[in-house]
């Protein structure tokens, strides 16, 4: 019981390590999504198709009927209203797919069709990401509308069946893998740190296995003894912890949503801000006011770091915004003006 109490106490007082795994901020080269595409016919529509005067849909319909021993001319199909020509796309998962796997495919009308509800896609071959690369899958099935306000687009759940293997290649012919840092984490500092961590953990007698070639890519050499079965080595690499490093000062603004995201170390120079809607009410001097004698002074300017010693943070200004209940649009305008005048010491990203 005493040992159990000691263990529980250690768990309670232990602080979480400020680190992330390499796998959290990188991906392996080759680990990417691919898209299959095709053109097909949706049939079974209740008078909401392209119509007989839309030849790009009627011509393939006539060709399909001829293939199945029921030839028909374009003129004979002039009144067809239950068929629509559609584009088809299917996004393959980053880790590859195998023959027989089913994935979702998305269809979008290319003609005058008003609504694809109730339609069914005829069996359509899907080509690979490289034109002329061959047929990799077949798509067919009933269409479901994802958004009723856009009835000319829909999805076929599991409608794309793979007819070939499309595995992902992670290791090049020379036995190297490349760790690609995700955009928010990419920097020389992070890439160099990852390379050093890998070398310290896996490099025997100071062997250099990992090299940061730029802020986004770290090339890792798989040891000869593990190239036949590299899974364990790659798994160990991806689980290595990376300390949370100081990143560049950054402010990201989404004007449409009115959101402001910033790092905690964004600094601003000493500045006085006067803007519409900014008013601070202060009591001068500082007696307890009464309804009979409220001594109130008003200022329409906000002074940041009035001592001039430097070091104010943007989150100090945000705290003042919160006190004054400054609207999001005004906050964004002030931050943009600070950046234009050189008072905001950070990279500003406006979406």
> Do residues 268 and 334 lie in contact, with contact meaning Cβ atoms separated by under 8 Å?
no
Could you tell me the pLDDT band of residue 128, with boundaries at 50, 70 and 90? confident
56 & 138 share domain: yes
208 & 256 share domain: no
Could you tell me the pLDDT band of residue 131, with boundaries at 50, 70 and 90? low
Question: Is pLDDT above 50 for 282?
Answer: no
Answer yes or no: is 60 within a domain: yes
Could you tell me the pLDDT band of residue 339, with boundaries at 50, 70 and 90? confident
Q: Which helix (H) or strand (E) holds 303?
A: strand 302-304
Question: Is pLDDT above 60 for 5?
Answer: no
Could you tell me the pLDDT band of residue 215, with boundaries at 50, 70 and 90? very high
pLDDT of residue 294: 56
Question: Is pLDDT above 50 for 126?
Answer: yes
pLDDT of residue 48: 84
158 & 188 share domain: no
Answer yes or no: is 18 within a domain: no
Distances (CA, A) of 322 to 21, 50, 109, 280, 299: 35, 55, 48, 12, 17
How far apart CA 237 and CA 233 sit, in angstroms, is 6
How far apart CA 141 and CA 314 sit, in angstroms, is 54
The secondary structure of residue 83, as a DSSP letter, is: -
Question: Is pLDDT above 90 for 238?
Answer: yes
Show which of 214, 243, 272 is a domain's final residue. 243
pLDDT of residue 55: 63
Q: Facing residues of 303 across strands?
A: 272
305 & 327 share domain: yes
Distances (CA, A) of 106 to 3, 152, 226, 295: 59, 11, 41, 68
The predicted model gives 38-62 an average pLDDT of: 77
Listed range (42-51, 64-73, 270-279, 293-302) with the worst mean pLDDT: 293-302
Show which of 207, 227, 243 is a domain's final residue. 243
Show which of 167, 195, 228 is a domain's final residue. 167
Hey, what are 343's tokens? 């008072």
The predicted model gives 206-235 an average pLDDT of: 93
Phi, psi of 77 (to 5 degrees): -100, 15
The predicted model gives 253-273 an average pLDDT of: 79
User: Model confidence over 64-88: pLDDT tens digits?
Assistant: 766 766 666 556 556 677 788 899 9
49 & 120 share domain: yes
User: Model confidence over 138-196: pLDDT tens digits?
Assistant: 999 999 999 989 999 999 999 999 998 888 889 999 999 999 999 878 889 899 999 99
229 & 279 share domain: no
pLDDT of residue 232: 94
Question: Is pLDDT above 80 for 9?
Answer: no
207 & 263 share domain: no
Average of per-residue pLDDT values in the chain: 79
Question: Is pLDDT above 90 for 112?
Answer: no
Listed range (48-57, 73-82, 97-106, 181-190) with the worst mean pLDDT: 73-82
Distances (CA, A) of 340 to 249, 266, 275, 336, 344: 16, 15, 16, 6, 8
Domain extent at residue 318: 250-350
The predicted model gives 216-222 an average pLDDT of: 95
Answer yes or no: is 21 within a domain: no
Side-chain half-sphere of 252: how many Cα atoms within 13 Å? Answer: 6
68 & 113 share domain: yes
pLDDT of residue 121: 93
Could you tell me the pLDDT band of residue 103, with boundaries at 50, 70 and 90? very high
Question: Is pLDDT above 80 for 242?
Answer: yes
Answer yes or no: is 12 within a domain: no
Hey, what are 184's tokens? 């928010």
> Do residues 19 and 241 lie in contact, with contact meaning Cβ atoms separated by under 8 Å?
yes
237 & 155 share domain: no
Answer yes or no: is 217 within a domain: yes
pLDDT of residue 208: 92
152 & 54 share domain: yes
294 & 188 share domain: no
141 & 118 share domain: yes
Question: Is pLDDT above 90 for 26?
Answer: yes
Answer yes or no: is 51 within a domain: yes
The count of domains in the chain is 3
Answer yes or no: is 4 within a domain: no
Answer yes or no: is 336 within a domain: yes
């Amino acid at each position: 019981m005493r040992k159990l109490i000691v263990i529980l106490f250690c768990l309670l007082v232990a602080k979480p390590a400020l680190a992330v795994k390499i796998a959290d901020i990188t991906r392996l080269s080759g680990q990417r999504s691919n898209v299959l595409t095709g053109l097909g016919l949706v049939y079974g529509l209740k008078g909401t198709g392209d119509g007989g005067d839309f030849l790009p849909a009627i011509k393939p319909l006539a060709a399909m009927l001829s293939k199945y021993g029921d030839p028909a001319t374009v003129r004979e199909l002039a009144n067809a209203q239950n068929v629509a020509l559609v584009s088809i796309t299917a996004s393959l998962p980053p880790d590859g797919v195998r023959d027989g796997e089913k994935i979702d495919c998305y269809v979008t009308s290319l003609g005058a069709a008003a609504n694809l509800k109730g339609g069914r896609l005829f069996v359509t071959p899907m080509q690979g990401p490289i034109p002329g690369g061959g047929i990799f899958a077949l798509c067919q099935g009933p269409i479901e509308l994802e958004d009723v306000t856009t009835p000319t687009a829909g999805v076929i759940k599991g409608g794309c069946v793979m007819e070939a293997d499309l595995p992902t290649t992670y290791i090049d012919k020379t036995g190297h893998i490349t760790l690609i840092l995700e955009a928010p984490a990419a920097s020389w500092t992070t890439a160099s740190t990852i390379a050093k961590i890998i070398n310290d953990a896996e490099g025997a007698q100071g062997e250099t296995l990992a090299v940061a070639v730029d802020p986004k890519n770290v090339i890792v050499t798989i040891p000869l003894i593990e190239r036949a079965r590299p899974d364990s080595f790659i798994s160990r690499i991806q689980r290595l912890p990376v300390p949370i490093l100081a990143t560049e000062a950054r402010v990201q603004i989404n004007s449409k949503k009115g959101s402001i995201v910033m790092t905690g170390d964004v600094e601003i120079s000493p500045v006085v801000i006067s803007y519409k809607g900014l008013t601070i009410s202060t009591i001068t001097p500082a007696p307890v006011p009464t309804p009979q004698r409220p001594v109130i002074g008003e200022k329409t300017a906000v002074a940041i770091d009035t001592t001039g010693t430097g070091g104010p943070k943007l989150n100090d200004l945000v705290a003042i915004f919160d006190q004054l209940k400054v609207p999001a649009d005004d906050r964004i305008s002030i931050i943009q003006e600070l950046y234009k005048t050189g008072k905001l010491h950070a990279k500003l990203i406006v979406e």
